[in-house]
Structure 1
Amino acid sequence: MIRRFSVNFAIFALFMDLFVITAVLWVSQSLRPFLDAYLPVQHLTPDLLDLPLVLYIFFPLVWVVLMIFFSVYDGRKNLRVVDEFTSLTFSSALAGITLAGVMYLSYRDVSRALFTTFVLAAYLMLLIWRLIARPLYWRWHRDVERVRHVLIAGAGPVGRIVEKRLSSYFENGMQLIGFLDDDPQKLNSQDDVLGQILAARLIVEEKHIDDLVIALPRRAYNHVNALVESLQDLPVRVWIVPDYFELALHQARLAEFAGLPMLDLNAAALSEYQRMIKRVFDLLVIGVFVIPAFLVMAVVALAIFIFDGRPILFKQSRAGENGRLFTLYKFRTMVVGAEFIQVAKTDVHGNILHKQQGDPRVTPLGRFLRRFSLDELPQLINVLNGDMSLVGPRPELPELVKNYQPWQRERFAIPQGLTGWWQIHGRSDKPMHLHTEEDLYYVKNYSFWLDLYILMRTFWIVLRGKGAY
């Protein structure tokens, strides 16, 4: 339905990429002899500067095939510039790694400087020609292709959600004409409601509608069959938005279950690519810091054993992604049997404060560990096991989850984290029952860069020891 660019432009882009990659490879080979003056590299073996002809065919084909695999040429998936350029970046990085591996196993004498120059220059040129072509394409697109007219059947909450979503795509050649609704109040008070649902055929013909979106409440589904039948002989595409979004914990998504298309009302907030990137990032960070982290953990464990005795670790059941229970690990910072000593207080609204300053159950060593979040280090084991992520909403106590309202459960739509948006905006200074809104902000605005930002902020906040007790 919505395309950022046409199939013809996608075909043009594919052949343009083949040409650009081939041209950059030839230019890189031609300029290679002049790079020695600027590259202080000692050549132990003579470089092969004249590339075999087969590489002029193999390099562009491999690169473009990977771009096809990453949907760079799919105008429906790349509705935003950032989506297309992200796909281009990932495919180019993988192309560089793949081609480097092929060169290592075959033409090992090819100049490494030449190859590096080629990969970087090709990636930049693929970006640059798109930045130049986009304004030209949109100018031609507006002049040549007709705008698609959209009509929405249903001016209720679901219909307004569709209107809001479509508004960000109006620049893609779409125009919302109006709504259809049987509610007399909406017909009389809302100017964009053009008529009743039964008048759909007349309005579709009169307004030259290209796409009709049915966004009716469940109680009005008896109109759907008659509405679709009345439009079968007209050149209009009919789309149905099931009115089940209010039942979804985070978002509804069409998926295949046992070979049948079904609506997943508890679809994961992260795409498979996002989930993969998040998991790889977790493992890479832990891999880099695993030795110093476990050295610190060994020192902390020894200190607890000397000053407070056993047990060293505190284990507790927590609710993770999708509410699944798992065992969370922490260094023990309280006296033995602290869970049976009731000292919890309540705020002015009657909400229980599970963390408070001056808690008599916390040991002197425990206060130091909590101040600098050293008690949280064993949760790296939870991250390695896949129960948690480095960044995400904090895993909650099951007894608190039982009292959650439905909207609060959206925080479990992604992996729970060692640190998160709440930790950099208050830590223990903000009561547990107020975490949810900030957790939902993270869920709805997740990105790899947000994870990096949170980790960097967490480092400095932990050093200050602010809001931890």
Structure 2
Amino acid sequence: MTNLAIAKRIIGPVQNYLGRYLDRTARVYAAEARRYAAGREFSADDLSWSPLKTTSARAVKRAIDIAGGLIGAAALVPTTIILAPVIRFFSPGPLLFFHVREGLNECPFKLPKFRTMNENMQVGGHDGPDKTQPLEWAQITGRRVTGAGRYMRALAIDELPQCVLLLNGKLTMMGPRALSKVDLDRHEDPRYNWREVRKKFTPALGPAAFCLSGAFSSREEIELMEIYYFGNWTLWLDIKLLGRGLLAIAAGRHY
């Protein structure tokens, strides 16, 4: 038996265990979120219902973002030196790939990633197929991803360049998922005034809905979980979500 086969036999059960834990605890968060949102109205003009809009919360979030951005930027330099020749060996072309995302107050910005696909097969101006349809997504991206790209995605290394956006305020550490306008417009008749409310919040490096659910969620669950996050933010909640996000990556739920 090869070392790779042995590693898979060890990692597989661990990922399954982590996945079951995430699913079990996600049901608790989902039930709590439904109770919170039931019968409430969420104004996008008066955000007094969200603790994220207090002066103290903004200061705490900004301090965390700057610290995370500095750590990420420090890690980015040696990672880039190592990955640059590897990425170009598997597929000649640029080192980075940019998605256009909708930011705070609908201002578009470019979201960088290390390129994991063949240059002539990159997804267009949005995320492509709906990631809530795992089979369709896997079939389409599986033909595009390079050999090195598979490992970068598995370890979430491809998203490391996004850390620099924590420094300029385009991203925050935890919050609503950074999506393109095309993807946002796919949410037909969103609940809880979600589409208007999320315009008032900075998109995040760590998507709150993904961390709460422990997996990519349906559109309806994204709306519910993000509204719950906006209305119930605490520093402790961000710490818990960071831990859940790391567990989801370890469980292979992030790609």
Q: Residue deviations 1:339-390, cap 9 Å, x none?
A: 35xx96679xxx8779722422222222221112111111012111110011
C-alpha deviation, 1:412, in angstroms: 3.3
Query: Secondary structure of 2:208's partner?
Result: coil
Q: Return the alpha-carbon distance in structure 1 between the equivalents of residues 79 and 73 of structure 2.
A: 10
Pairing 1:357–2:138 present: yes
**1:427 maps onto 2:211 in alignment:** no
Structure 1, unmatched stretches of 5+, are 1-163, 166-244, 254-265
SS of 1:314's equivalent in the other structure is: strand
- In structure 2, how many angstroms separate the alpha carbons of the residues matched to 1:459 and 1:250? 34
Relative distance call for 1:323 and 1:385 in structure 2 (3 A) is: same
Q: Look at both structures and tell me which one has the larger radius of gyration over its CA atoms.
A: 1
Give, in angstroms, the shift of residue 318 of structure 1. Answer: 0.3
Separation in structure 1 between the aligned mates of residue 87 and residue 93 of structure 2, nearest angstrom: 8
Q: 1:448 to 1:344 in 2, by over 3 A?
A: closer
> How has the CA–CA distance of structure 1 residues 345 and 290 changed in structure 2, closer, same or farther, with 3 Å as cutoff?
closer
Cα 1:466/1:354, change in 2 over 3 Å: same
Per the alignment, residue 295 of structure 1 pairs with: 78
In structure 2, how many angstroms separate the alpha carbons of the residues matched to 1:353 and 1:408? 24
User: 1:331 Cα shift?
Assistant: 1.2
Aligned 1:38-437 pairs, distance under 5 A: 248-249=43-44, 251-252=46-47, 269-288=52-71, 290-337=73-120, 338-339=122-123, 356-358=137-139, 359=141, 360-404=143-187, 405=189, 407-409=193-195, 410-424=197-211, 425-428=213-216, 430-431=217-218, 434-437=221-224
SS in 2 for 1:318: strand
One-letter code of the match for 2:123? E
Q: For 2:119, what is the secondary structure of its paired residue?
A: coil
Q: CA deviation at 1:285?
A: 2.9
Contact 1:314 1:329 in 2 (8 A): yes
Q: State percent identity of aligned pairs.
A: 25
- Write the distance in 2 (CA, Å) between the matches of 1:327 and 1:460: 27
Are the equivalent residues in 2 in contact too, given 1:305–1:312 (CA < 8 A)?
yes
SS in 1 for 2:199: helix
Task: Give the number of the structure with larger relative contact order, counting CA–CA contacts within 8 Å between residues 6 or more apart.
Answer: 2
Q: 1:448 aligns with which of 226, 235, 253?
A: 235
SS of aligned partner of 1:458: helix
Tell whether the 8 Å contact from 1:332 to 1:366 is kept in structure 2 after alignment. yes
Structure 2 residue identity aligned to 1:418: L
* Paired residue total: 209
Cα deviations across residues 24-49 of structure 1 (Å, max 9, x unaligned)?
Answer: xxxxxxxxxxxxxxxxxxxxxxxxxx
Structure 2 residue matching 1:459: 3-state secondary structure:
helix
Residues in 2 aligned to 1:354 and 1:444: alpha-carbon distance in whole angstroms: 33
**Residue type matched to 1:467 in 2?**
R
The question of whether the paired residues in 2 share the 8 Å contact of 1:411 and 1:436 is answered with no
Q: Is the CA contact (8 Å cut-off) linking 1:345 and 1:353 kept in structure 2?
A: no
The answer (yes or no) to whether the contact 1:427–1:467 under 8 Å persists in 2 is: yes
Query: 8 Å contact 1:268–1:413 — kept in the other structure?
Result: no
- What is the deviation of 1:317? 1.1
Q: Does 1:468 align with 2:249?
A: no
The 1:301/1:346 distance shift into structure 2, 3 A limit, reads closer
Deviations along 1:289-317, whole A, 9 cap, x unmatched? 54234322332233212222211111121
Partner SS, residue 422 of structure 1: helix
Q: What is the CA distance between 1:453 and its match in structure 2? A: 1.7
Q: Residue deviations 1:243-302, cap 9 Å, x none?
A: xx77x326356xxxxxxxxxxxx9995212211111111112333454234322332233
Contact 2:97 2:113 in 1 (8 A): yes
User: In structure 1, what is the Cα distance between the partners aligned to 2:254 and 2:135?
Assistant: 13
For 1:400, what is the secondary structure of its paired residue? Answer: helix
Question: SS of the residue aligned with 2:93?
Answer: coil
Structure 1 CA distance for aligned equivalents of residues 168 and 135 of structure 2: 27
TM-score, normalization: structure 2? 0.68
| Residue 403 to residue 300, structure 1, CA distance change in 2 (3 Å) | same
Q: Distance between the aligned counterparts of 2:95 and 2:203, measured in 1?
A: 24
1:320–1:326 CA contact under 8 A, matched in 2 = yes
Q: 1:455 to 1:426 in 2, by over 3 A?
A: closer
Instruction: Render the CA deviation track for 1:196-255: whole Å, top value 9, x for unaligned.
Output: xxxxxxxxxxxxxxxxxxxxxxxxxxxxxxxxxxxxxxxxxxxxxxxxx77x326356xx
CA distance in 1, matches of 2:130, 2:180: 17
Distance 1:423 1:458 in 2: 7
For residue 118 of structure 1, what is the aligned residue in structure 2?
A: none
